[in-house]
Amino acid sequence: MLAARPKTLPAAVAGVVTGTALAWRDGQFHPGAALAALCVALLLQIGSNLANDVYDYERGADAGERHGPLRVTQAGLLTPAQVKAGMWVVFGLAALLGLYLAWQRGLPGRAGWTVVLVGLAAILAAVAYTGGPFPLGYYGLGDLFVFLFFGLAAVAGTYYVQAGRVSAQAWWMSQPIGWLIVNILVVNNLRDIAADNMAGKRTLAVRWGERGARLEYALLLAASYLILPLLVAVRVLPWGSLLAWLSLPLGWRSLQIVLKQQGRPLNAALAGSGQTVLLYSVMFFLGLALAH
């Protein structure tokens, strides 16, 4: 349970909730596909957490004092081999559910193979974030890939496995969800900036410095909320989608911590950022229901 890091799971849920909300609004809701997509997203997040735990340990990124949650490999609670075994079991379960979703979309047809390829890419990216010969997180690419898979793939993919296509609304809503989830990574990297720099982990926070990371957080948070009234104004989304703004106080509270704190106190902003994106997606769903 420690290695799975349950507090990070709201990030996995938010994209599925948003994509399902849009599918439901368009009369395309499929409960089996929605539930499978949710389980896949959770399993991919857990598998990614396990991969980060063991591969950061093997690269020496956890050698110094940690400000974040306990890493089980570093603490000696599990061996690297045990964590890797658990990681592949989790990814295997995600792959099985992914095959169900591909079958729902008509595997071996083109739509089914699209689901398979996206799923394999997600697993590969989860491992390659800290593992393999070119660990994405060590070269400042973590923010981009988090956006691609937790934003675009999660929202648009959830819609796709239910509707067999991706609507313009799903593409648009993958943007703010992706930005808010990237902010979770921004806080994580801001908190660990000193340790990552010493370990040679060149995250964007290390490259841009604390001021740059804080600016990135503020801009992504602002964009995630400002895009909604714009989409309502051009009639891409109904007025009810603005209910997602009720999550703004949570986001504002996290922003204040990000702007003022360093090190371990940033864990409060880390949790708050996850809660913000989850509440944002739930309120968005409720808003669509009210405007239906």
Backbone angles phi, psi at 70, to 5 degrees: -60, 135
In this structure, what token pair is assigned to residue 152? Answer: 């675009």
In the chain, which residue ranges form alpha helices assigned H by DSSP?
10-25, 31-59, 72-75, 80-104, 110-128, 142-146, 157-163, 168-191, 193-199, 204-233, 248-260, 267-291
pLDDT, residue 107, reads 84
Residue 125 placed within a domain: yes
The answer on pLDDT for 61 being more than 80 is: no
Q: Does residue 150 have a pLDDT over 90?
A: yes
Q: Is the pTM of this model over 0.85?
A: yes
Residue 126 has pLDDT above 70, yes or no: yes
**CA–CA separation, 131 vs 91, rounded Å?**
15
Q: Which pair of tokens denotes residue 260?
A: 């003022």
CB-CB contact of 39 with 172 (8 Å): no
Domain count, the chain: 1
Q: How far is CA 238 from CA 25, 228, 234, 287, in A?
A: 10, 10, 10, 8
pLDDT value at residue 291: 83
Least confident of 5-14, 34-43, 164-173: 5-14
Quickly count: other Cβ atoms within 10 Å of residue 200's Cβ. Answer: 11
Q: What is the pLDDT of residues 228-274, one digit of tens each?
A: 999 999 999 999 999 999 999 999 999 999 999 999 999 999 999 99
Residue 254 in any domain: the answer is yes
pLDDT at 34: 97
Q: Say what the pLDDT of residue 63 is.
A: 62
Q: What is the pLDDT of residues 193-208, one digit of tens each?
A: 998 998 889 999 999 9
Kindly state whether residue 1 falls inside one of the protein's structural domains: no
Q: Token pair for residue 214?
A: 């804080």
- Residue 65 clears pLDDT 90, i.e. is over it: no
> Which position has the token pair 């290390």?
206
pLDDT in tens, 88-117: 999 999 999 999 999 988 888 888 999 999
For residues 13 and 42, the answer to whether their CB atoms sit within 8 Å is yes
Q: How many CA atoms lie within 13 A of 241 on its CB side?
A: 23
Structural domain range at position 83: 6-291
Q: Is 198 in contact with 152 (CB distance < 8 Å)?
A: no
Overall average pLDDT of the 8-17 stretch = 93
